[in-house]
Structure formats: C-alpha cells, structure tokens
C-alpha cells in the first residue's frame, strides 16, 4: 500500500522512526508536553540517538510536526543522519494543523522551514504518494501506517522507534499510543521517552 522511501545502494544500518506528542496548544486543559519542557525533551531525544550511535549510515523518518517530531528531525540533521519527512497533509494544511495551533506556533513553522532547507529531498506528501484520503479515514492515522510500513520495508530487525509519549491514549485516531502498539506488534525496538519525566 505505502511507497517506501527510495532505498540507498545499501540498506541503512538502522531505521530511526519517530512519533510523539505535539507541543501543547495554549490553554490545553491537561498539560502533556508544555513548551517549557522543550529543552529537556531535546536533550533526551539527543541522548537516545547517541545511545543508538545514529549517523550517516542510518535513515530517519518522521512527520515533522511541532514538538517531538521537529526536535527529533533537528537532532538527526545535526548528527548527519539522512532524514525523510512524510507529511500526512499537503504542506500548507500540515503547518496549519500541526504547527500553528501549538504554543510558539510561528516559531515552529520557521524551524520547519529551516530544517527543510537542509534536507536532501523534499518532504513527501501522503496525497501525492498514496492518493486522496478516502472518506472517513484520518490523515494522521494513515500517515502513521505509511511511516511504519516505510520503515518496515527495510526489515523489522533494523527498526528503532523513538517516541516521546506520556503513556496515555491520544486525543484522536493516529495518536502516539496507536503507533507504539503497532511497532510492538511488528517486533520493532521501542525507545520510550516518558514525557511525564521531563
């Protein structure tokens, strides 16, 4: 169903897949990932990548949303890890739904654009590669399946899933919990950064 990322001449040593919480929107009733925890989250994500010895021989995949996704993406670029962004929506709509509502939304949009300028390939968009979203299907849930199938195209033994997650259910379909469960079913390695401990 999903088109995997273009494969290098040799398969990556490991595929670093990330999914995690957005930075909280202003006024979120129950804090999950407040902006004040950004630096702590960035340090923990960086430490996980260092533990995995992430580098140029690997491949990183994520959506690139404000919060954990972008922190992961920035950390990968800083370590020379080839990074592919798989967007659930056309870029303009993605920014409107996954950046601007978050605390510091415009700054996250600027960071996304700066990151994009460093990528070897343009972000890939689900509608362009998977076709129009079927009626009744959630774009973010489909994107998670696309991310996971793209990672598994290289074999479950290479999959290292890093997640910034509070251990609870999501705000809707396609949440972090669903992704954690899907990776576990696929027998990929789960590297859980508990956002409650930041």
Average pLDDT over residues 88-95: 97
Residue 91 contacts residue 127 (beta carbons within 8 Å): no
Q: List CB contacts of 56: < 8 A, sequence separation 6 or more.
A: 80, 81, 82
Q: Note the pLDDT of residue 170.
A: 62
- Please name which of 54, 138, 40, 135 lies closest in space to residue 97, comparing C-alpha atoms: 138
- Read off the CATH number of the domain in which 53 is found: 3.40.50
In a domain, 174, yes or no: no
Residue 75 contacts residue 191 (beta carbons within 8 Å): no
In a domain, 177, yes or no: no
Q: Is the pLDDT of residue 172 over 80?
A: no
What are the angstrom distances between the C-alpha of 89 and each of 43, 61, 120? 29, 16, 20
Print the domain residue range for 69. 15-24+35-160+183-197
Q: List CB contacts of 124: < 8 A, sequence separation 6 or more.
A: 5, 84, 85, 86, 87
Model confidence pLDDT, tens digit, residues 133-151: 999 999 999 999 999 999 9
Q: Note the pLDDT of residue 176.
A: 86
Measured in residues, the chain has a length of 198
In a domain, 165, yes or no: no
Q: Note the pLDDT of residue 174.
A: 62
To which H or E segment does residue 62 belong?
Answer: strand 59-62
- Scanning the structure block, which residue is given the tokens 């080839």? 82
In a domain, 168, yes or no: no
In a domain, 9, yes or no: no
In a domain, 7, yes or no: no
Q: Note the pLDDT of residue 2.
A: 58
In a domain, 94, yes or no: yes
In a domain, 176, yes or no: no
To which H or E segment does residue 60 belong?
Answer: strand 59-62
Residue 158 contacts residue 60 (beta carbons within 8 Å): no
Model confidence pLDDT, tens digit, residues 18-76: 999 999 999 888 889 999 999 999 999 999 999 999 999 999 999 999 999 999 999 99
Per the structure, how many domains does the chain have?
Answer: 1
DSSP state, 10?
Answer: S
């Amino acid at each position: 169903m999903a088109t995997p990322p273009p494969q290098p001449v040799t398969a990556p040593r490991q595929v670093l897949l990330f999914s995690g919480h957005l930075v909280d929107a202003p006024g979120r009733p129950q804090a999950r990932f407040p902006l004040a925890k950004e630096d702590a989250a960035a340090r923990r994500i960086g430490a996980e990548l260092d533990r995995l010895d992430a580098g140029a021989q690997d491949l990183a995949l994520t959506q690139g949303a404000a919060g954990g996704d972008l922190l992961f993406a920035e950390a990968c670029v800083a370590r020379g890890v080839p990074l592919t962004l798989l967007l659930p929506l056309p870029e303009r709509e993605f920014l409107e739904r996954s950046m601007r509502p978050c605390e510091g939304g415009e700054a996250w949009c600027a960071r996304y654009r700066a990151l994009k300028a460093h990528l070897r390939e343009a972000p890939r968009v689900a509608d362009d590669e998977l076709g129009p979203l079927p009626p009744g299907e959630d774009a973010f849930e489909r994107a998670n399946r696309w991310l996971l199938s793209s990672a598994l195209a290289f074999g479950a033994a290479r999959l290292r899933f890093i997640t910034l997650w509070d251990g609870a259910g999501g705000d809707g379909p396609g949440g972090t919990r669903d992704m954690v469960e899907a990776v576990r079913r696929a027998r990929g390695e789960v590297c859980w950064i508990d956002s409650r401990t930041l």
